Amino acid sequence: MLKSLSHVFLPVFGGTALVLAVAVSFANRNYGHSKIETLETRIGQVEAHAAVAQENAEAESKRAAELEIKVEEIQAAAAERVANGANLTASAPIRESSLGLGRSALKEEIAAWDVDVLPDGRGLPVGSGDVWTGEEVFVARCASCHGEFAEGADNWPVLAGGFDTLADEDPVKTVGSYWPHLSTAWDYISRSMPFGEAGTLTADETYAIVAYILYSNDLVDDDFELNNENFAEFKMYNMDGFVVDVRPETEYTEWRKEPCMENCKAEAAVTMRSVFLVETPAEGGSNSVMNNASPDELPTFSAEGPSFIPTAAPKPDEEAAAIPAAQETKVTDEVTELAAAGEKVFKKCKSCHQIGEGAKHSTGPALNGVIGANAGSVEGFKYSKAMQASAEAGLVWTDEEMAAFLAKPKEYMKGTRMSFAGLRKQDDIKALIIYLKTFGS
Ligand code: HEC
Ligand code: HEC
């Protein structure tokens, strides 16, 4: 376009100066045009910038407003906390008593102490828990000591089984077999378990655990849910096993007669000495030895100890070495001795197995005649799939198989339901097998 215009103007004005002037003016015009463009672009940019800045400013003021509200909220919460918390530490209203000591307990303080649960369900918090949740919590929080099935690990308390053993020489007192009220379990567990971490269970967890302990005791089915509403209805197995103590009425009155203070009896004679238990065995009971001192013998004291305590009976090994007996009698003696030792080892099995006349299935099958029998063959017991498979494969409980099983049940038979860690000592296993044989093989 510039070129065509210069062609039009040149013939009209002519002359170099003119040509120059025109050129300058064109150049100027040209400069002005690009400047406008530049300015326009700049304005556009500034406008865009301003818009962004405005947007930012708006966002920031909004955020500031939000933060302000938050600060107010935090301040209000803090003030409230101070107002409430201060009650616990700040001097409380002094009681109008003669001594002017102490203050009335706060509602919250009473609630924190008032945790007891009564047999009729009073004191229970609202909540619920089922057997399956209970199993999870129990395995995580309790099984390390009480065993996965509440059967008790090592020497920690057994919580399940032991039914109908209360009249035995070695009663197995568990939550299931012994405790008359379910509230005792709830209350005790909520206050004092897990051992060393008391107070860390929620109410729902406690309901679930108690449901699981009932299940471990075969007192409920696996779909059972325990809650604050059905709690009091639950009837424990041994609920009628306790009697009311009437001695205050029947006996104490006898003892509370006017005591004789003078000229009561011509002479007092010692007629019997107390008996002394010696070498109290770890398991208590049957091994105890009584002294046979007669009332006339006065005790003597020597380096061996007081005369009324007989020197400890020789250990079985020493005894066997000390008394060379005829081979025959020694063998039978040994068998009887081993069977007796086996009977003691069997205490570890008793929470789950019965043996002897009238033995019934409990957690595990009755064990009469088990040595030499086909595995998994006792009528009426529901074995695990693993035991059934072993039975189908023809497993027979020979001494060797039994020894291997009892040493490490879970390793010997993957998937067995017998939840028992195993016997560590070969001697125990040997003795136990001989004991089992005394009930047929
Ligand atoms: C670290 C080991 C340990 C753990 C974990 C543990 N307990 Fe105990 N439990 C004990 C001991 C020890 C006793 C006996 C306490 C006593 O007699 O004073 C006991 C006693 C009990 C008893 C009373 C038994 C009886 O017949 O007298 C119950 C019920 C019980 N525990 C439940 C539980 C529950 C439920 C858990 C899990 C939430 C749990 N325990 C976790 C060690 C433990
Ligand atoms: C915690 C409970 C528990 C304890 C403790 C326990 N058992 Fe068992 N036992 C079982 C269960 C459950 C079975 C069934 C296993 C299966 O079906 O897999 C079983 C199975 C057996 C069997 C196989 C019976 C058969 O008919 O084939 C023998 C034998 C046995 N137990 C012996 C013992 C002996 C001996 C002890 C003690 C050293 C012992 N158990 C301790 C629960 C237990």
CA of 349 to the centre of ligand 1 (A): 20
Q: Is 339 in the pocket of ligand 2 (CB under 6 A)?
A: no
Q: Which residues of the chain have pLDDT under 50?
A: 1-15, 17-19, 21-23, 275-282, 284-291, 293, 319-320, 325-326
CA of 419 to the centre of ligand 2 (A): 8
Report which residue type is found at 82: V
Which pLDDT score is estimated for 280?
44
Question: In the structure, how many helices (H) and strands (E) does the chain have?
Answer: 16, 6
What CATH number has the domain spanning 114-233? 1.10.760.10
CA of 212 to the centre of ligand 1 (A): 14
Judged by its nearest atom, the ligand closest to the C-alpha of residue 161 is: 2
- Residues having CB within 6 Å of any atom of ligand 1: 141-142, 144-146, 156-157, 159, 173-175, 185, 188-189, 193-196, 201, 209
Which pLDDT score is estimated for 97?
64
Q: Is 375 in the pocket of ligand 2 (CB under 6 A)?
A: yes
Which pLDDT score is estimated for 206?
96
Q: Is 378 in the pocket of ligand 2 (CB under 6 A)?
A: yes
Which pLDDT score is estimated for 271?
65
Domain 319-437 CATH class label: mainly alpha
Q: For the chain, give every domain's residue range.
A: 2-88, 114-233, 265-313, 319-437
Nearest to 24 by CA among 12, 35, 16: 16
Question: Are the C-beta atoms of residues 420 and 409 closer than 8 Å to each other?
Answer: yes
Q: Is 138 in the pocket of ligand 2 (CB under 6 A)?
A: no
Taking 3-state DSSP, the helix, strand and coil percentages for the chain, each rounded to the nearest 5, stand at 45, 5, 50
Q: Is 151 in the pocket of ligand 2 (CB under 6 A)?
A: yes
Q: In a mutational test of the pocket of ligand 1, which residue from 141, 195, 204, 205 has the highest number of ligand atoms less than 8 Å from its CB?
A: 195
DSSP string, 320-366: HHHS---HHHHHHHHHHHHHHHHHHHTHHHHTT---STT---SSS--
Which pLDDT score is estimated for 403?
94
How distant, in Å, are the alpha carbons of 1, 3, 5, 22, 172 from that of 13?
Answer: 19, 16, 13, 10, 133
Judged by its nearest atom, the ligand closest to the C-alpha of residue 410 is: 2
Query: b vs e for 226-250, b when ≥16 Cβ sit within 10 Å of the residue's Cβ?
Result: bbbeebeebebbbeeeeeeeeeeee
- Closest ligand 1 atom number to CA of residue 201: 38
How distant, in Å, are the alpha carbons of 85, 107, 349 from that of 94?
Answer: 18, 16, 61
CA-nearest residue, atom 42 of ligand 1 = 195
- Closest ligand 2 atom number to CA of residue 423: 38
Asked if domains 114-233 and 319-437 share a fold, the reply is yes
Q: Burial, 185: exposed, middle or buried (Cβ in 10 Å; 0-12, 13-18, 19+)?
A: buried
Which pLDDT score is estimated for 302?
67
Nearest to 277 by CA among 269, 267, 286: 286
Q: In a mutational test of the pocket of ligand 2, which residue from 156, 352, 400, 424 has the highest number of ligand atoms less than 8 Å from its CB?
A: 352
Q: pTM of the entire structure?
A: 0.43
